[in-house]
Structure formats: structure tokens, C-alpha cells
Copies of this chain bind each other. A is one copy, B any other.
Amino acid sequence: MKPYQPVTPAILSAITAIVGAGHILTGSDIPDHYARDEGTPPHLCQIPGVVVYPADAGQVAAIVRLANQERIPVTPRGGGTGLTGGAVARHDGILLDLCRLNRIIHVDRKARYLIAEAAARTCDIQQAARENGLLYAGDPCSNDDCVIGGNIATNAGGNMAVKYGVTSDQVYQLEVVTAQGKIVSLGGRLKKNSTGYALTRLIAGSEGTLGIVTRATLKLQPLAPIIKNYLAVFSGLNAALTSINTVLADGRVDPISLELLDRKTLLGLEDYLKKSFFRQKTGDVVIIQTEAGDETEVRQKHDRLQTLLAAPGLLDFFETNGEEIWQARRMWGKPNSLKNPVSISEDFVVPVDAIDSFVQTLEQLISEFQFDFRIAGHVGDGNIHLRVQPGPLPLDVWEKTLPLFQRQIYAAVYQLGGRLSGEHGIGLKRKASLAALIDPVELELMQALKQAFDPNRILNPGKIFDLP
């Protein structure tokens, strides 16, 4: 295969002919932030060869056709809020900033769906649904900044996945530009479909490596008349995690959200936000959100929760202000990271019933290595967001021992049947770890699939895995 080609003046002219002179940036005009997303480690940051702002799917397709013909890498970028470097363009290639494809094209109140372009903000989609008396149930914590195309690319979960599932569960239909620069509509506004392969499910979570999503048709749900938010405060993480499993095993509360915040994190958030979340007793916390049709159902669910949670480890249980607690949850790591700028972050997913085993191993390893940690996340889905930091440990010791810690914690996750990422994806950041952990046969299938969809390897190359 010929090597990747550079973005020459002739290529720039061809791109300009497609998008128009005002919609292309080169050289020193390219702002630094295009070298990274919100989670790119410094050594993986890289300025693209050119930044292009296509206006629509037709322009995206035309650029991809050109890139495929010349063998120039193309990396799509949405909100830039990814946490694994997935939107970083490699090999001096083309960065397609999709920000002009930001329209919500149609909201159908009666049939409960919505059509949006790839760079429509998730919060705007949620708002458009609400204005029509409906719910869009995808709810990543970066919803103010993230866009639906990025949510689809990583198959983001978010805060409502306990009841409503992850982003791919919200997707009816995707408009996709293939590596050959053809525009295809995959899936349908259908609750089931056995008419050939499940390509929408495959594109979701493929991090822009199999096709570029330009438009999505999304499911909307009836909006429950009453939403309630509760805080359950526990004496320790294990008591909190046991309680989550009790609520899920019962099946009758049907919570929307079960979100964990450790004690230190919520105390830090209280301090940062100048707000009180705890009443008297502090501890590790689970935020529980429920929905109900009327006050009778509110009482039923509340009473059921109270019964299920009643165990020696429960310190407190009360209704809380939804807006305030979710503001805190969304920014969970921020106050801590201001005080502890050196840290690593993880996005493990394990079987829900194995989270307490995972946390036991974590606490043991943290103690052995003399590190410190903060934990939060969508624990009702088994998805753990974890920050590990040196604490009082000298930085050189931290740096020297961190790789061994990571190997051991990854091994523990896989031992429990878990995986590296629940919703952030692999991108650049976790590629080496995935290569070390994945079943070689599974990797072969993924590589074959990538090669089949994108034989010239132009779509977001070097993400998730390398090709042989």
C-alpha cells in the first residue's frame, strides 16, 4: 500500500473547491486545541495537516472521496470532549470539524423521534425533546459541550443508561459517509429489524474508523410527569455497591440513574460549589433518580427504596435537589483535579455484581502502591470512572510504579470479566493497553472488519488498534 500522502497545495485547492475559501485552516492558523481532546496525553497531541469545515454530508463525502483516492487520513471531530484522543488527526491528515452540521432538523412529537446532524449538541437535543414533552435519554456528563456524533462514535452511556440503555439504544437510523465517500442511510425508525446485518449497531462505538456519521434519527421517550432525586449515604463503598445490587435485583423501583460519588469527592464538591449536599452524616453516596406517573407512584417507589436500602451500612437517605446534585455529578472530578493536577483516569466496566470485588482489589492495590484515588460513575451499569493520583507520594516514585499499578488493575478488571472502557472508547490513549489485553481472535475480526470497510485505511487511522 502506498504511504499516506501529505496535504499538498493541490489538495488544499481541491478541498477549497469543495467547502469554499472561508472554511479551511492551515499552518499557523490552526488553533492549538485541535491537537487534542479533553483526554489526550501530551505525548499524543498532534496538530492536523489541515482543518476543514464541511457544510453538509455532500461536502463530507466529496472530501472523503478525494482523501480515499489520494490516500490522505481523515479524522472527524465533534465537540472535542472525548477523553481518549479519538478526535486527534494523525499523519498530518485532514481534520473534519463537523461544527457546521449542527442542526436539529425535525422533532416528531407524535411518533417520538428526532433527526439531528452530527454536531448538534446533546443538551440541545435534550432541550428540543423536552419542549415537545418528550425525553432524549442519552445523557453523558459532558452534555453541555458534547455532540451527538461524538456520543455515537464512542457509544456513550451517561446517567440514564440503567433504565434507557446507551447511545446505540437511542439510535434508529444513521446517515453515514463510507470510506469510499458514499452517503448511506443505515437502520430505520424500527423497534426491531432482521433484514441483513446490524450495521447501525456496528457503526456506533466504532470511533470514526468505519464511517463518518453525518446525521442521526434518535428515539424519544414519553417524559414522565414526576422526576425525583435521592441521596443515599453509606458508611463505605462496599455498602453502597451492595445496595445498588439490591435495588437492581428487586426490579420494582426501575431507577433511571444509580450514580456513585465517594465521600471525599462530594465533600470537595460542597466546598467548590459552596453548597451542602450531605445533611448531617457524610459518607460515600449514591444518587438515585426515579420517575413516576403520579404522587402514589412516587410514594411507592420511595418506600420501596427505603426498604431495600435499609441495611447496617446506610447512614442517611433523603430527597435532594436534582439540579444541584447533577451539576455536582457532571463536574465530579474538577475540584479534586485542581488540587491534584497529576492523575490518571479510567473508564472501566465490570459486571454490576462484581463492582464490589473490583473496589476491594482497587483499595488493596492503592494501599500497596501508596496512591490515592477518587471514584464516581455509572455504577448501576458497572461503569466506573476512576482517578488515581500520587497523593503525598513523590512524583518520581509515582511515575516509576504507575505502569505496574496499571497492569495489575487492568488484569483485575479482565479477571472479573470487565473491559477497559464502558463509554469513553479506546482512541489513542488505551490502544496499547487494549493490544495487551484483547483476545487475539477478537482483534483479528475487528481488524478484518476495518480493512473491509476502509481498505485504504484513511478513516481515523491509528485509533482503537493498529493494523498489521
Contacts and interface: CB of A to CB of B under 8 A. Distances in A.
A194 B349 CA distance: 9
A434 B193 CA distance: 13
Contact of A182 (B250, B349, B420, B441): B441
Nearest to A292: B252
A155 B423 CA distance: 24
Nearest to A448: B452
Contacts of A162: 191
A192 B423 contact: yes
B182 A422 contact: no
A222 interface: yes
Interface stretch (A195-203, A316-324, A331-339): A195-203
Interface stretch (A3-11, A227-235, A350-358): A350-358
Given A198-B155, A441-B178, A453-B445, A249 B419 contact: no
Contacts of A192: 155, 157, 161, 166, 349, 378, 381-383, 422-423
Interface stretch (A47-55, A90-98, A293-301): A293-301
Given A190-B418, A383-B192, A448-B452, A442 B111 contact: no
A403 B239 CA distance: 65
Contacts of A351: 111, 188-190
Most chain-B CB neighbours within 10 Å: which of A162, A193, A383? A193
A80 interface: no
A426 B434 CA distance: 35
B190 A422 contact: yes
A205 B198 contact: yes
Contacts of A389: none
Contacts of A202: 197-198, 201-202
A204 interface: yes
A36 interface: no
Nearest to A183: B441
Interface string A214-250: 0000000111100000000000000000000000111
A392 interface: no
A417 interface: yes
A184 interface: yes
B446 A193 contact: no
Contacts of A194: 154-156, 205, 347, 421-426
A238 to B, nearest CB: 16
Given A195-B419, A202-B201, A465-B196, A453 B446 contact: no
16 contacts: A111-B353, A112-B249, A155-B194, A162-B191, A166-B192, A178-B441, A186-B442, A191-B349, A193-B419, A195-B426, A196-B446, A197-B205, A199-B442, A222-B251, A293-B300, A452-B452
